[in-house]
Chain A
Amino acid sequence: MQADHLHLSGVTRIYPATEGHAAVHALGPIDLSLRQGEFFSVVGPSGCGKSTLLDVIAGLAMQSTGTILFEGKPVAGAVPDGIGVVFQEDASFPWLTVFDNAAFALRRAGVPDAEVRERVRHTLAFTGLSSFAQAYPAQLSGGMRQRLCIARTLVTRPRLLLLDEPFGALDQQTRLLMGDELLKLWRETGATVLLITHSLDEAALLSDRIGVMSARPGVFIDLVETGWARERDSRLAAEPAFGAVTGRLWAALRDQSIKALAMAS
């Protein structure tokens, strides 16, 4: 067993009271350890704090209490080197070509041109976007734009890849195929992946381990080990074991989803 790549201890996020609104305890306390190179997914009812969890891990938001260690160093309200994030929304820059989008972070970081070209070419080939290098995002499909966002993140070679429902806007078939591509990328890069998703199938297919969160304030109520081999793809969906994993996820989640629905109404 390798050392913890990411470690969370007693992490909470409480939005302070504002004029006319009481304080909101959105998350935690969360205790979690991710192994180097692990594929970990988080599922939970709407509004349970999944995206808040991703934000505090990424350093995009400050935790209210607790500690987050990435590669042994504390994360507190600033994005550390080595973390890449792909958001649910299309974040491709419409004024840049696919190539320039993918090269954006490297150029801003002052990476030499020759290296930028080499890394971008490799990443675009890797994500199946080579033939669209000179196209603008408006000329791509939704799935291709999301692949571009993944490429733009992967080109920086993140050691921890945080994905906030990256396939949320795609249809089921495209999601499955994108999931296969993501698994391929994960195997080749060796990065640790934390995926936030609403889809139990997606979590069950892709992950080594799945954390099931409760309704707000979100805490982990179950951690499910899938036991899949590293070499895997969406054909897993036909396996009986796949049904057992999704069944266990739903069993843990059903009451929480009902509770979240009641809270929302």
Chain B
Amino acid sequence: MTRAGWIRLALIVGALAVLEAACRYGFVSRDAVIPPSKMLEGSWRALAADETRADIWLTLQNVTLSLVLSLIAGTAAGLLLHKATRLRRALDPLLASYYAVPTFVFYPLFIVLFGLNRWPLIAIGFLFAVVAVIINTLDGLARIPRAFVRTAAVMRLTRTQYALHIILPAAAPWFFTGAKFAVAYSFIGVIAGEFVVSGAGMGHATAFAYNSFDNRMMYGLIVLLFIIVGTINAVFGTVERRLYARAGR
């Protein structure tokens, strides 16, 4: 582990120890926050119960689906907009202000369109994630050095060779950044949707625990979510760092 990694770990462990002590010695109200050790107990309880395991599994499926769809659609749209410069210029202000739109207002519409099933939530996650993928795809394509394009012409590459061997690796770090954002946005979209409007999933289970004053379960689920997202982000971060280091950026 790097020095920065050790410092990060020490900070987390230190913060948890302080919180544990603060909760145990009554500096923080136990009605509001429970000690981290109890949160972990709650996580274990969540994992042990069939019902919450099913909720977690459903959420992970929904997030994966919205992520995969947003990556495919976002990359395709990014490629299209990169080619269609006029269309891109027309859409630029919309893309820039996109995240000001409260996506959840479309939930009733999605229920009408898709029915009362998992797809309205996947659509919410998708809408959250797709624009991050589009923006990063556009950014990656715009940053391909002109010298690479000219080199490809001198080497007389075919269109497929150019796409596979120049565009894809040259823009990979930005595609990857887009994917990393898409993971976070898919989780936010799906879980927030479940929290507010759904009858199943991790977000719903957290909301249910909150409404039932079951702090241990609520914090247990939140910790689990942190662990899942943190692990995925750590893996993505490692790959991303390697890509950028190789690119000398």
Contacts and interface: CB of A to CB of B under 8 A. Distances in A.
Interface of A: 58, 60, 79, 81, 83-85, 87, 89-91, 93-96, 104-105, 108-109, 136-138, 153, 156
Contact of B246 (A81, A90, A95): A95
A136 B246 contact: yes
Contacts of A58: 154
Contacts, number: 56
Interface residues of B, number: 22
17 contacts: A58-B154, A84-B154, A85-B154, A87-B150, A90-B147, A91-B147, A91-B150, A94-B246, A95-B169, A95-B172, A95-B243, A104-B155, A108-B155, A108-B157, A108-B161, A136-B248, A153-B154
B245 interface: yes
Contacts of B156: 79, 81
- Pairs A-B, 6 closest by C-beta atoms: A138-B248, A91-B147, A89-B147, A95-B169, A94-B247, A105-B155
Contacts of A138: 245-248
Interface string B216-249: 0000000000000000000000000001011110
Contact of A60 (B154, B169, B245, B246): B154
Given A93-B170, A95-B246, A87 B147 contact: yes
A156 B151 CA distance: 13
Contact of B169 (A87, A93, A109): A93
A153 B147 CA distance: 13
B165 interface: yes
Contacts of A104: 155, 165
Looking at B155, B161, B170, B172, the one whose CB has the most chain A CB atoms below 10 A away is B155
Contacts of B99: none
B248 A87 contact: no
A19 to B, nearest CB: 13
Nearest to B156: A79
B176 to A, nearest CB: 12
B148 interface: yes
